[in-house]
Structure 1
Amino acid sequence: MNDISEYKEMYAVEAAEHLQSMNDALLSLEKDPDNSETINVMFRAAHTLKGMSATMGYSSIAELTHNMENLMDRVRKNEMTLGPPAIDVLFEIVDTLEKMVEMPEDSSRYDISSLLERITQFLKAGVELPDEEQYVALEHHDADRTAGMSEKECNVFNITITLHESCILKSARSAVILRNLSELGEIIETSPTLKDIDDGKFDRVFSATVSTKEDSKKLEDIVKATLEISKVDIKPMGTDEIQTKKIEDDRNYSNDTARSAIKNVQSVRVGIERLDSLMNLVGELVINKIRLMQLAADHKLDYLEDTLASLNRLTNDLQEEIIATRMVPIEQIFNRFPRMVRDLAKKEGKEVELIMGGGDIELDRTVLDEVGDPLVHLLRNCVDHGIESPLEREKSGKNLRGRIKLTARREKNYVIIEADDDGRGMDPGRLRRAAVTKGLMTQEEASRLTDSDALNLSFMPGFSTAERVTDISGRGVGMDVVRTKMEALGGSIKLESRMGEGTKIVLKLPLTVAIIRSLMIKVGKETYAIPITNVVRDLAIKKDMIRTIKGEEVVLTMGEVLPIIRLHTLFGINSNGSDDMIVVVVERGGSNVGIVVDQVIGQQEVIIKKLDNRILKGIKGFAGATILGDGNVALILDVGTLL
């Protein structure tokens, strides 16, 4: 007899999907409470989650979803309407269910009595409620093909069962049915095979041949006693039919087994830890490939050229395949934002519409996990600081409902995520005054800032213009955290704003953080890598073009005053002293800075090896290291903390 624990992971995944469907449906019903299609989606999600939970033995979850189902059933029968109070209660129920589903075995510790009472209040319309359903706990039946049965003493029936279209845990339902049938007789045969039924490898229809002393009515009743049954068809079988069926089964056994074996390997579930290990191994392979190619070039081993070309191609293909297996759609984090924006807007007394696009764009799972919190903060800022109150928007001649657009798109090896609102925009003057008030700069320094530079003040640690502290924002932990996270991922962030029109924040992220494209440079005898996402351009300048303003070296280029940093000075490396200088222009927080180097080697994909924080604790400016083709180690510069 199989243990129910094998279905726990399946239950968690399916339950999360149904709860997401409920959230989406409630957000739609809040705008259009009479939409019958959305009402049915809500009802089916509650019904299915109830059945799943009851089957798994999670009675508290089943009870709460059963009452939610009753409420939605009344709504779809036009016996009541969903007003704002009812929708608020349904949102609370979904929130509670999300917590319960996280640890379903402990779900009974949640007090759901107040929620059940509030549902009951909505149901006091005098219409009789459906009887409480009988919940059946899942228990797999290990049915073997039975030989030597006494057909003279028993009736033989072929029972065809059709599960309801809303049934998710097909194998669990079928296991309950087969167990119940086995209590009335012997199961001779199932179609498809018992293993395929156990693995859920059938549509919604399966059949069982049963030898029993009971009549067909008793068999039909016990099958129909199980939840989520759409149809039951029972036919008696004669001796000839049984023998014919056995011959056909024997004839097709090998073919059926082969087909089953092919199906069994179509997909597998792989943990992210194993994918991380594969990525590390392919990284080592790439490093050794580069080393071999370097040795062949150094020693002019032309006879290895074809073999190394083939190795290079195969390694690149393997690298791309491993990266592809780690990719997941960005909608996995986008999906949680509509509800969040709705709740924040309601708390602030604002009307906000969230428009999302590009959810099918894929990102490395590691990047996706890291970008979730920054996006949450950006959207909270949009709601709290960006979108005005309905009264303020009305005075400005705007639509009372604010709009936030969250979109993702692919550009070469990067994903661009934009958060754009049509709110009040950011006031550069107010930002300058805040910087002076906080003692971050003098009045004279603030007055010299361009509007673009003033907007970038918001990236400074602890900077905030919030006049009041709320639980949404204004605690001095803000855009600097977002920028730091983006730069740690090898990405960047840009801020654009128009007074009275709105604000746009653009995040640029690499598809993966394990392998990044970098610009390789030399300073003295040392080689360094700069993530290409930070690089704007490189340029050649003469030494006499450098000017000093307030103790800082700058150069005027293309109408821009460009601050420059000498890596020689920063790292304590001897300069070559040449009058001709190479400057790599990098972007940091929306501003450009020039880095003086001795040589630009070119672009190259590098494998990132994380630095040991115990050894390099407190040392900033480096994102990691990589191994070059000659076997030497090159440090990867972290522009965000270096400058």
Structure 2
Amino acid sequence: MATNQYTEVFLEESNEHLQAINDNLLNLENKPEDLSLVQEIFRSAHTLKGMAATMEFTDITSLTHQMENVLDKIRNQSLKVNNKVIDITFEAVDHIEEMVNAISVGEDGKKDVSDIISRLEQIENGKLSEQEKDSYKQNDSPKMELDQYQQTVVSQAVEQGFEVHMITVRLIEDCMLKSARVYMVFEVLEDIGEIIKSSPAVEELETENFEQEFTVIFLSKESPNEVKNRIHKISEIQDVNITPIDQDITKSKIVTKEDREAVSEPKSSVKDSKTSQGKTATSKTIRVNIERIDYLMNLFEEVVIDRGRLEDISNKTENQELIEAVEDISRVSSDMQNLILTMRMVPVEQVFNRFPRMVRGLAKDLNKKIDLEISGAETELDRTVIDEIGDPLVHLIRNSIDHGVEEPMKRKQVGKQEVGKLYLRAYHSGNYVFIEIEDDGAGINRDKIVEKAIENELITSDRASNLTDKDVHQFILSSGFSTADHVSDISGRGVGLDVVRMKIESLGGQISIESEQGQGSKFIIQLPLTLSILSTLLVDIQNETYGIPLSTIMETVLLPGDSIMHSHGHEVIDFRGNIVPLVSLQDVFNVPNTKTNSDSYHSVVIVKKGEKMAGLVVDSFVGQKEVVLKSLGNYLQNVYAISGATILGDGQVSLIIDPNELIS
């Protein structure tokens, strides 16, 4: 059977079903008794299995078949949903995603899935594999009893900001000098903290009266990853397991966080405004090759330019038949334009829907509790922008989880809820889409950034005191700038953010940062709604013509000169009860005076960004025009308040204004 022609359809539908499985698994983790979610997961897995079998992808077929068996027992109430079932099912989905991704790049999609299938069979039969038993033994940390003095030391250390860790170190089986290795481990730990107690006792460790494993209670301000890395540098160390723990003073013993959470709440809860209702949001897919859509758009851009020329010619000749024909062409071409643009627009949920699963995994890895809230997922963006924005968003979200949101114990110490908040928002504003990533974590340390900027000779110490917070925050977007004490494998505050900035700017967008130390940070990405055609209001400023996107305009008004007031040294007007600042575009763009304006009235364009408004003062209004937005080229990048240029019907070049830049 010739299957190559159906591969693209298989990949698109497989990704949709995998996303549905991910979304419903996240909901099932929070609602383990909801069998309707199990039914939805089963249906997606069954469809995926059928498609894979038809395409002769045997490994995907085998794995989805075993997933079906487990899900079937759950929906028949022969098996209960628990964390182990959820985790292993997620692992199975990861394997399927890897195989589907391999197929998308031309590989055969084969993978050794015997281990994960065996583990699913163990669940189906109500058994645990030996590997999982060992894992649970390791996680079942002992409750090491402390005497009154040791407990007092721990209590005082926690109040001073130290963290309590239970560290289990396992030596290799054929370790020759176990006591020497223990001594080296103790020496490393005492350099960065204090050992409170060991099991077995120190005397037994010195006489090598233990098997291959020993455990210590350890106080330190270093991160668990840093402690683990230092221990692993010692030879003949097989494994290091570090468990952050709380102290239970009333019972005079150390209790692990896992013990507490076994009777309370999950570590991480992730919710989406759409999926929380138990519904899976499926998006429509474009079945036409995107290159064909791009080619059609390029052709239509030329039609728009020629349409403008025809409109100018018909107005000059005053031939009624020509005017009517041009009006018909304009109407039909406008409908075509809207249709083509709609074909290219896709909701940002195609990018957003990968993040709930990612946040869940990172929260578990870092022992944090994080609540993700998504809003505006239905906001639409040009397909070419959607394809490129995913990686920058992944980096920013990982950055917020790793270095923004604090660990539960630290959050409690500063009076915050244990569960950190992470917000992902998208919304339209004029001809742009704004995406915000906000957390309620530790925020950005201004003093640390300034210190690093001075060290890197980006600024002088004299100038540093005059910088605003916004100016200081921009430094972390600079190439190679980092304030991280330790670089983790998750992210680094400042590491790689210059790459994020360059990617966003290559799409015609911008990134800005707002942060308050101790309260959280917000990364704001501004992206063009579409990269091609837009409706504008043409305005004259002296002898120059500019375009203002209609989507940003609230109203145009003619104001008498005596209606202009002054506030704090700036010109303002009273617009329907609101004080609106005026911005002279002639001053902003340094347009030279070529004619005297004796009119006592001022032409003002009222524009809006979110809840903020401004009045743009121009000389006159020309009229509405559909224009093709072109970039200014590589030599004119990030020109203030200019988003691009267009060619008018008479051949004149007109700059397109970005009002978002003018509203502060």
Instruction: Name the TM tier (shorter chain).
Output: 0.5 to 0.7
Per-residue deviation, 1:397: 2.3
Per-residue CA distance 1:479-521 (angstroms, 9 max, x = gap): 4444444444444444333333322333333321112466878
Per-residue CA distance 1:593-613 (angstroms, 9 max, x = gap): xx99999988854313467xx
**TM alignment of 1:279-290, pairs within 5 A:** 279-290=297-308
The separation in 1 between residues aligned to 2:589 and 2:423, in whole angstroms, is 44
CA RMSD of aligned residues (A): 4.8
The separation in 1 between residues aligned to 2:618 and 2:485, in whole angstroms, is 44
CA contact (8 A) 1:101 1:107 kept: no
Provide closer, same or farther for how the CA distance between residues 565 and 35 of structure 1 changes in structure 2, counting only shifts above 3 A. Answer: same
1:392 aligns with 2:410: yes
Per-residue deviation, 1:288: 0.8
SS at match of 1:354: strand
Per-residue deviation, 1:530: 8.2
The separation in 2 between residues aligned to 1:40 and 1:481, in whole angstroms, is 42
Pick aligned residue for 1:630 from 650, 655, 662? 650
Give the counterpart letter for 1:320 in structure 2. Answer: N
1:331 aligns with 2:374: no
Give the greater-gyration-radius structure (CA).
Answer: 1
The separation in 2 between residues aligned to 1:305 and 1:409, in whole angstroms, is 39
Q: Which residue of 1 aligns with 2:628?
A: 607
Q: Which residue of 2 aligns with 1:177?
A: none
1:349 aligns with 2:367: yes
CA contact (8 A) 1:566 1:597 kept: no
TM-score between the two structures when normalised by the length of structure 2: 0.60
SS at match of 1:109: coil
Pick aligned residue for 1:447 from 465, 470, 483? 465
CA contact (8 A) 2:403 2:493 kept: no
Q: Which residue of 1 aligns with 2:392?
A: 374
**TM alignment of 1:99-248, pairs within 5 A:** 99-104=98-103, 106-107=107-108, 109-125=110-126
CA contact (8 A) 1:566 1:596 kept: no
Per-residue deviation, 1:6: 4.5
CA contact (8 A) 2:430 2:552 kept: no
Per-residue deviation, 1:452: 3.5
- Structure 2 residue runs of 5 or longer lacking an equivalent are 129-284, 557-567, 573-580, 609-615
The separation in 1 between residues aligned to 2:286 and 2:523, in whole angstroms, is 39
The separation in 2 between residues aligned to 1:634 and 1:415, in whole angstroms, is 23
The separation in 2 between residues aligned to 1:619 and 1:574, in whole angstroms, is 21
TM-score between the two structures when normalised by the length of structure 1: 0.62
Provide closer, same or farther for how the CA distance between residues 443 and 534 of structure 1 changes in structure 2, counting only shifts above 3 A. Answer: farther
Per-residue deviation, 1:618: 6.1
The separation in 1 between residues aligned to 2:555 and 2:512, in whole angstroms, is 17
1:10 aligns with 2:28: no
The separation in 2 between residues aligned to 1:491 and 1:271, in whole angstroms, is 25
The separation in 1 between residues aligned to 2:496 and 2:538, in whole angstroms, is 33
Q: Which residue of 1 aligns with 2:380?
A: 362
Per-residue CA distance 1:379-433 (angstroms, 9 max, x = gap): 1222122211111111122221212121223345433333222222233333333
CA contact (8 A) 1:354 1:404 kept: yes
Pick aligned residue for 1:419 from 437, 440, 452? 437
Per-residue CA distance 1:432-469 (angstroms, 9 max, x = gap): 33322332111221111223433344344443332221
The separation in 2 between residues aligned to 1:77 and 1:101, in whole angstroms, is 29
CA contact (8 A) 2:374 2:425 kept: yes
Provide closer, same or farther for how the CA distance between residues 375 and 599 of structure 1 changes in structure 2, counting only shifts above 3 A. Answer: farther
Give the counterpart letter for 2:65 in structure 1. Answer: H
The separation in 2 between residues aligned to 1:425 and 1:51, in whole angstroms, is 48
Per-residue deviation, 1:624: 6.2
The separation in 2 between residues aligned to 1:640 and 1:480, in whole angstroms, is 23
Per-residue CA distance 1:266-290 (angstroms, 9 max, x = gap): x994322222122122211111111
| Count of residues in Structure 1 that have an aligned counterpart in Structure 2 | 478
1:21 aligns with 2:42: no
The separation in 2 between residues aligned to 1:604 and 1:293, in whole angstroms, is 10
Provide closer, same or farther for how the CA distance between residues 607 and 344 of structure 1 changes in structure 2, counting only shifts above 3 A. Answer: same
Q: Which residue of 2 aligns with 1:94?
A: 93
Provide closer, same or farther for how the CA distance between residues 315 and 511 of structure 1 changes in structure 2, counting only shifts above 3 A. Answer: same
Per-residue deviation, 1:107: 4.7
The separation in 2 between residues aligned to 1:620 and 1:395, in whole angstroms, is 46
- Structure 1 residue runs of 5 or longer lacking an equivalent are 128-266, 539-554, 588-594
Per-residue deviation, 1:83: 3.9
Per-residue deviation, 1:36: 2.5
CA contact (8 A) 1:388 1:402 kept: yes
The separation in 2 between residues aligned to 1:537 and 1:503, in whole angstroms, is 34
Q: Which residue of 1 aligns with 2:246?
A: none
The separation in 1 between residues aligned to 2:286 and 2:80, in whole angstroms, is 45
Q: Which residue of 2 aligns with 1:199?
A: none
Provide closer, same or farther for how the CA distance between residues 80 and 637 of structure 1 changes in structure 2, counting only shifts above 3 A. Answer: same
SS at match of 2:73: helix
**TM alignment of 1:564-575, pairs within 5 A:** none
1:275 aligns with 2:293: yes
The separation in 2 between residues aligned to 1:119 and 1:355, in whole angstroms, is 31
Q: Which residue of 2 aligns with 1:206?
A: none
Give the counterpart letter for 1:434 in structure 2. Answer: K
CA contact (8 A) 1:510 1:516 kept: no
Give the counterpart letter for 2:47 in structure 1. Answer: T
Provide closer, same or farther for how the CA distance between residues 349 and 291 of structure 1 changes in structure 2, counting only shifts above 3 A. Answer: same
Q: Which residue of 2 aligns with 1:44?
A: 43
CA contact (8 A) 1:296 1:304 kept: yes
**TM alignment of 1:403-482, pairs within 5 A:** 403-474=421-492, 476-482=494-500
Provide closer, same or farther for how the CA distance between residues 518 and 380 of structure 1 changes in structure 2, counting only shifts above 3 A. Answer: farther
Give the counterpart letter for 1:331 in structure 2. Answer: E
Provide closer, same or farther for how the CA distance between residues 601 and 433 of structure 1 changes in structure 2, counting only shifts above 3 A. Answer: farther
Q: Which residue of 1 aligns with 2:329?
A: 311
Pick aligned residue for 1:295 from 293, 313, 317? 313
Provide closer, same or farther for how the CA distance between residues 363 and 390 of structure 1 changes in structure 2, counting only shifts above 3 A. Answer: same
Give the counterpart letter for 1:292 in structure 2. Answer: L
1:70 aligns with 2:69: yes
Give the counterpart letter for 2:629 in structure 1. Answer: I
Q: Which residue of 2 aligns with 1:173?
A: none
CA contact (8 A) 1:345 1:352 kept: yes
Identity value in percent: 42
Q: Which residue of 2 aligns with 1:57?
A: 56
The separation in 1 between residues aligned to 2:461 and 2:472, in whole angstroms, is 13
The separation in 2 between residues aligned to 1:69 and 1:348, in whole angstroms, is 31
Per-residue CA distance 1:534-557 (angstroms, 9 max, x = gap): 99999xxxxxxxxxxxxxxxx975
CA contact (8 A) 1:621 1:640 kept: no
Provide closer, same or farther for how the CA distance between residues 568 and 354 of structure 1 changes in structure 2, counting only shifts above 3 A. Answer: closer
Per-residue deviation, 1:311: 3.0
Provide closer, same or farther for how the CA distance between residues 516 and 478 of structure 1 changes in structure 2, counting only shifts above 3 A. Answer: farther
CA contact (8 A) 2:431 2:552 kept: no
CA contact (8 A) 1:628 1:634 kept: yes
Segment drifting more, 108-117 vs 334-343: 108-117
Give the counterpart letter for 1:317 in structure 2. Answer: D
The separation in 1 between residues aligned to 2:465 and 2:617, in whole angstroms, is 29
The separation in 2 between residues aligned to 1:268 and 1:110, in whole angstroms, is 29
Provide closer, same or farther for how the CA distance between residues 576 and 95 of structure 1 changes in structure 2, counting only shifts above 3 A. Answer: same
Provide closer, same or farther for how the CA distance between residues 610 and 414 of structure 1 changes in structure 2, counting only shifts above 3 A. Answer: closer
The separation in 2 between residues aligned to 1:462 and 1:317, in whole angstroms, is 48
